[in-house]
Chains A and B, each alone.
Chain A
Amino acid sequence: MSSKDLHTQGLMQLAEGLENGDFTAVELVTALLDRIQAHDGELNAFITVTADAALQAAKRSDELRRKGDGGVLNGLPLVHKDIFCTRGVLTTCGSRMLENFVSPYDATVVGRMADAGAVMLGKTNMDEFAMGSSNETSYFGPVKNPWDLACSPGGSSGGSAASVAARISPAATGTDTGGSIRQPAALTGTTGLKPTYGRVSRYGMVAFASSLDQAGVITRSAEDAALLLGVMAGFDARDSTSIDHPVPDYLAGLGRPLKGLRVGIVRQHFDAGLDEETGSAVREALSVLEAQGASLTEVDLPNLDLSVPTYYVVAPAECSSNLSRFDGVRFGHRAENPEDLLDLYCRSRGEGFGAEVKRRILTGTYVLSAGYYDAYYLKAQQVRQLIADDFRKAFADVDVIAGPTAPSPAFRLGDKTDDPITMYLNDIYTIGANLAGLPGISIPCGFASELPVGLHLVGPHFGEEQILRTAHQYQLLTDWHTRCPEGYA
C-alpha cells in the first residue's frame, strides 16, 4: 500500500498495515494531517488541529512497536469531538463561552484512547454545547457535508462525521443526547454508534443533559466501531452514572450469521413524514437482513409520537441546570466592566451563549419553574417511563429494532434554522433510544437524492454486541459503507 492511499483505509486495515511494517505511524499521521490541510478549508470540520502533538505521539508509538510494545490502538489516528476535555488543549464545545478554555485534565474517553495508543489529530467542530442537529449553532461556523458542500452534515457531532466521511480521519469520537452521533452518521454515509446509557464514562465530557448524554464513535465500519468500543467502554468511578457491567470482546461476536435474528419493525417509522426514497433504501436493507435468515416482525411503540416533546422538556431542564456553572467567574467568557455581580452573570452568559443554547436554557428554566414543574418536567418523566416500557415490551419479542435513522437525507444549510420545531423533528427516530437508555447504531444503506441514507438498529440495554453484529453482517454483504464522496477518494 502506498502512503498516498492510507487515508482510504479503516482502523482494522491500518492496524494490520502498521503491524506488518507496511508503513509507520508517522507516515500515516503525516498523510492525514496533509488531508486536513487540503480539505478543512472547505469543510470547517476542525476547531483545533494538534499537528505537533500528533507527530510526537506517532513517533512514540512507532518506537513502542519496534520494542514489541503498545496498546491495541497503537499508532491509529482519530479525532475527538470538541466536547471532550483534553489536557493542555483547547476544549471549546463549539461555544464562545469556552473559546479560550484549556482543559486541565483529560476526559476518561480521551485518556483510555491515548492509553491504548491512539493518536489524536485534532478536535472537531460541533453544534454549540451539542445543542443542534445541523452544526449550524457552532460559534465557529457550520460544518459542510462532504457529499454536498451546500448541505449540513447533521449534528451535533457534525465535524466528527464530516472528517470520517471525507477520509480525513478513520475514526472520531462523538456524543449522542438525542441522535447527535447517529443522525450525522446517516447524513454523511458513515457508521455511528451510541452505546447504552452508562456504558462509556461521561467524565470530562461537557455535560448537556446528564440522563441522556452518552459517548460513542463515528467510523467507516461496524467492525471499527466494535474495536473502539472495547477500549472506551467500562466502569469509571469518576462518573456517578457509569455502570459496572462486564465489557465483552465486541470483535469476537461479529462473525455470527444472522440466521434466527428477530428484527422488529416499527410501523410508525414508515408513516407520512418519511422521505420516499429514504424509505425505499431502508426497506431494501431490511430485505437484505431477511435474506440472511433474519425474521421481520412488526412491533408497536404506541407512545413514540411523544418522544420528541418529552425530550424537549427533559433535555432543556437538565441543560439549564448543567449550564448554570458558566457564570463568568471561574472559567469561560466574562463580560467587560460589569456593574455588579448580577450584571456580571447576566451579561457573561448573554454574550457567551448563542441563540439556540439560550432558548434551551430558557425552556428548561420555564419547565422547572414554580407552578410548572408538575405539568412539564414530572409529566415528561412519566411519559418517558411509558416510552421505555414500550421498548421493554418490544424487546421481549425481538433482538433488534430496525428502521430509518433520519426522516430525510442531508438538508441544505439554512433550510431549517427558522423554525426550531422542524429542526427538532429531525431526531424523531433516534430520540427514543436516548430516553430509554438503549444502544443504537446508524449504518449507510443507500442513497436518496444522491445523498447517503442511514439504517438505524436499536438493541436492548447492553445489546451492543447484537447491533454491531447485525451491522457487520450487513456490511459484509453490501458496499454502501465504502462509498466515498466525490473529490475525497
Chain B
Amino acid sequence: MSLDKDQVQHIAMLARLRVADDEIAETVDKLSRIVDFVDQLSQADTTAVVPMAHPLDAAQRLRPDAVTEPDERDEAQKNAPALSDGFYLVPKVIE
C-alpha cells in the first residue's frame, strides 16, 4: 500500500473533496494501486528530454485586446444554485 489514510485525507482536502467514511478504505486501496502503476515511469531514462508542452509544438496564441463577448450574465446565472441581485450567495466568510 503506497498511500495511507492520512495521506488520502490530506490530498482530498487539497482537492476540496469530501470522501465519506465508508468510501475511504476503497479510495486508499484503489489510489495506491494507481500510484504503484504509474510508478513504472521512474524506470524510463529521460535524461535531457524536454517535457512536452504541446503535442504539435504550437505556441499560445494571443488575441487583440478587444471586447468581443456580449453581457449574458442573466442567462448564465440561470444555473446558479443561490443568487441575490445578480450576486452569487455563499455561506458567510467574514464574521
Contact = CB atoms under 8 A, between A and B. Distances in A.
Nearest to B14: A365
A388 B52 contact: yes
B71 to A, nearest CB: 12
B7 to A, nearest CB: 8
B46 A421 contact: no
Given A104-B72, A359-B30, A362-B11, A309 B41 contact: yes
A342 B49 contact: no
Interface string A297-321: 0000001001011101100000010
Given A303-B44, A312-B38, A330 B88 contact: yes
Interface string A338-382: 111111111101110101001101110111010000011011111
Most A Cβ at <10 Å: residue of B15, B33, B34, B72? B15
A309 B38 contact: yes
A350 B18 contact: yes
Contacts of B72: 104-105
Contacts of A461: 56
Interface string A409-431: 00000000001110010000000
B14 A341 contact: no
A312 B34 contact: yes
Nearest to A353: B17
B70 to A, nearest CB: 11
Interface string B74-95: 0111111110000010111100
B41 A383 contact: yes
Provide the main secondary structure of the chain B interface: loop
Given A240-B60, A359-B34, A306 B17 contact: no
Nearest to B15: A365
Nearest to B63: A237
Contacts of A263: none
B3 to A, nearest CB: 8
A388 B55 contact: yes
Given A328-B81, A369-B14, A382-B49, A240 B19 contact: no
A382 B38 CA distance: 14
A198 interface: yes
A370 B95 CA distance: 32
A365 B11 contact: yes
Contacts of B19: 350, 358, 362
Contacts of B55: 197, 211, 388, 435-437
Given A358-B27, A421-B34, A243 B81 contact: no
Given A328-B81, A362-B17, A313 B38 contact: yes
A463 to B, nearest CB: 12
Q: How large is the interface on B (under 10, 10 to 19, 20 to 34, 35 or more residues)?
A: 35 or more
B51 A101 contact: no
A488 interface: no
Contacts of B26: 355
B67 interface: no
B49 A345 contact: no
Given A312-B37, A330-B88, A385 B51 contact: yes
B35 to A, nearest CB: 7
B37 A309 contact: yes
A155 to B, nearest CB: 18
A380 B31 CA distance: 18
Contacts of A291: none
Contacts of B38: 309, 312-313, 367, 376, 380
Contacts of A211: 54-55
Contacts of B16: 324, 327, 342, 345-346, 349
Contacts of A197: 55-56
Given A342-B16, A436-B55, A379 B78 contact: no
A334 interface: yes
Contacts of A367: 38
B46 A386 contact: yes
A338 B26 CA distance: 26
A84 B40 CA distance: 35
A394 to B, nearest CB: 15
Interface string B1-31: 0010000100111111111100100110011
A143 B13 CA distance: 33
Contacts of B17: 346, 349-350, 353, 358, 361-362
10 contacts: A197-B56, A237-B63, A309-B40, A330-B76, A349-B15, A365-B11, A382-B51, A420-B33, A420-B34, A437-B56
Given A197-B55, A341-B93, 18 more contacts: A104-B72, A104-B75, A104-B76, A197-B56, A237-B63, A320-B15, A327-B16, A329-B81, A342-B16, A346-B17, A346-B18, A350-B20, A355-B26, A365-B15, A385-B49, A388-B55, A419-B33, A420-B33
